[in-house]
Amino acid sequence: MSALAPLLEAFFTERLIRQRHVSPHTVAAYRDAVCLLLRFAERTTRRKPHQLGLEDLDAGLIGAFLNHLDTERGVSVRTRNARLTAIRSLFNFAAYRHPEHAALIQRVLAIPPKRTNRVIVTYLTDDESAALLAAPDRSTWIGRRDHALLLLALETGLRVSELTGLTCETIQLGTGAHVRCTGKAAKNGLPRCDERHEQSSKPGSTNAPAPQATPHSQAREANNSAATPSAGSSTATSSPPRRRARRWPPRW
């Protein structure tokens, strides 16, 4: 058995699933890319997949495989670059397992992706977000469900697959954050729901919500201002009057 078979097994079981904890969709996409590469290598080298070695998958064969995707299979540039990303991830992992093939791996990693037009990511304004949240009819169960999903999507930036894939393990009932997000939103720099809650709950944070004024707080502020003497009054003292500590975070 060549070194390629245990490398592929370790790449999927250890690297992708155990170390990186990628989603099943990513594992399936990488699996499809590797299967297409092995089939192309079998037709090119006349060897079965279990007979292939890492030295057979050189930069020349990888380049021919990418041209095969463009010309014969007619894939888009994004699909072609996605297949190349999976191959580069495999060879990045192989660099630590097989340093004797460092030159071959370096040449494969030097294959650049094709340029493509990137779509500018837009976002919703506050008015658009409010209009979107007001669209569901919350007097019905379906409307309350849609409102909760839309609100969660706006607050966390979850993808549709991540939003519909929420399970009992990711939803935690109790105080504080109720949902822990571990998808692309956290990977792209967006804080998880629990992190965003903790940041907004810290005193002095710029993201912290301002306490709402209630009739009791307004009356207390009025009494405190009336009891506090002016600067020119003869009854003024050097120490200000004691005030009750404000509850934080505020009770809504």
Bridge partners (DSSP) listed for residue 171: 179
Which tens digits make up the pLDDT trace of 143-194?
Answer: 998 998 898 888 878 888 778 777 766 666 666 656 666 555 555 544 444 4
The pTM for the full model equals: 0.59
pLDDT of 164 reads: 79
Q: Is it true that 4-109 and 126-201 share their CATH fold?
A: no
Q: Which fold has domain 126-201?
A: hpI Integrase; Chain A (1.10.443)
Residue 52, Cβ density class (10 Å: 0-12 exposed, 13-18 middle, ≥19 buried): buried
Q: Which of 27, 24, 3, 29 lies closest to 94, judged by CA?
A: 3
Peptide bond into 113 cis (omega under 30): no
DSSP string, 118-135: PPPP----HHHHHHHHHS
184 and 159 Cβ atoms separated by less than 8 Å: yes
How far is 16 from 12, CA to CA, in rounded Å? 5
Query: How far is Cα 232 from Cα 227, in angstroms, rounded to an integer?
Result: 14
**Among residues of the chain, what percentage have pLDDT more than 70?**
66
Is the pLDDT at 107 greater than 50? The verdict is yes
Give the fold, CATH level 3, of 4-109. Answer: DNA polymerase; domain 1 (1.10.150)
Q: What residue spans define the domains of the chain? A: 4-109, 126-201
- What pLDDT does residue 178 have? 61
What pLDDT, in 10s, does the model give residues 18-55? 999 888 889 999 999 999 999 999 999 999 988 999 99
